């Protein structure tokens, strides 16, 4: 597919957060930036928040009060993979890895490795996810 064809497939959408461009019009996100913003929106939206699309989003909030152990990280990676495969057809998810921050015990980094389908352009996006530890917990 040509570059112009790939750009048409990826498209353009309103930039997030909403803003204006140099001409005073609505700022748009194009190509890879639009896909990155779409991934962020999917991960930051909890199912049920959008009345007209009640299933849209990812259940990350279900993990907020969990520990940072291997079981939680594996379940979190599965949830992210499934949400992206359901809601972002322009990418092929190649891997989701969840790693704890060595200096901040309540922080997990969700590393999404994906390729844009039309161009086979491999990319990765790291999404920080904060847990709320129990009072008196060991982390």
pLDDT bucket at 28, cuts 50 / 70 / 90: low
114 is a domain residue: yes
Spatial separation of the C-alpha atoms in residues 35 and 30, rounded to whole Å? 8
pLDDT bucket at 68, cuts 50 / 70 / 90: confident
136 is a domain residue: no
Tell whether the model's pLDDT for residue 22 goes beyond 80. Answer: no
For residues 112 and 70, is the Cβ–Cβ distance under 8 A?
no
14 vs 93, higher pLDDT: 93
Pairing relation of β-strands 121-130 and 107-116?
A: antiparallel
Supply the pLDDT for residue 132. 85
Burial 103-112 (b: 16+ CB within 10 A, else e): eeebebebbb
68 vs 20, higher pLDDT: 68
Tell me the three state secondary structure of residue 11: coil
**Nearest 5°: phi and psi at 36?**
-60, -45
Spatial separation of the C-alpha atoms in residues 37 and 49, rounded to whole Å? 17
Average pLDDT over residues 69-93: 95
108 is a domain residue: yes
Range of the domain at 76: 3-130
Supply the pLDDT for residue 69. 87
47 is a domain residue: yes
Domain count for the chain: 1
22 vs 38, higher pLDDT: 38
Supply the pLDDT for residue 80. 98
8 is a domain residue: yes
Tell whether the model's pLDDT for residue 15 goes beyond 90. Answer: no
12 is a domain residue: yes
Strand-by-strand arrangement of the 107-116 sheet? 91-100, 107-116, 121-130
What is the percent of the chain with per-residue pLDDT over 90, rounded to a whole number?
A: 56
139 is a domain residue: no
Spatial separation of the C-alpha atoms in residues 4 and 118, rounded to whole Å? 11
Supply the pLDDT for residue 24. 75
Instruction: Supply the CATH number for residue 66's domain.
Output: 3.10.450.40
Tell whether the model's pLDDT for residue 1 goes beyond 90. Answer: no
Spatial separation of the C-alpha atoms in residues 106 and 125, rounded to whole Å? 20
Supply the pLDDT for residue 3. 53
135 is a domain residue: no
Q: Which of 117, 128, 129, 130 is nearest to 35 (CA)?
A: 117
Supply the pLDDT for residue 118. 86
- Token reading at 116: 């844009």
Q: Which of 116, 84, 83, 78 is nearest to 97 (CA)?
A: 78
């Amino acid at each position: 597919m040509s570059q112009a064809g790939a750009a048409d497939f990826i498209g353009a959408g309103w930039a997030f957060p909403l803003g204006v461009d140099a001409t005073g019009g609505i700022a748009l996100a194009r190509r890879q930036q639009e896909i990155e913003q779409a991934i962020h929106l999917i991960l930051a939206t909890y199912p049920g928040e959008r009345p007209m699309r009640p299933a849209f989003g990812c259940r990350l909030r279900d993990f907020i009060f969990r520990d940072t152990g291997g079981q939680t990280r594996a379940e979190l990676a599965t949830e992210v993979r499934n949400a992206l495969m359901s809601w972002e057809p322009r990418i092929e998810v190649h891997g989701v890895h969840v790693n704890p921050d060595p200096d901040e015990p309540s922080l997990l980094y969700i590393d999404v490795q994906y390729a844009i389908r039309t161009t086979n352009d491999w990319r990765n996006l790291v999404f920080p996810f904060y847990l709320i530890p129990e009072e008196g917990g060991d982390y």
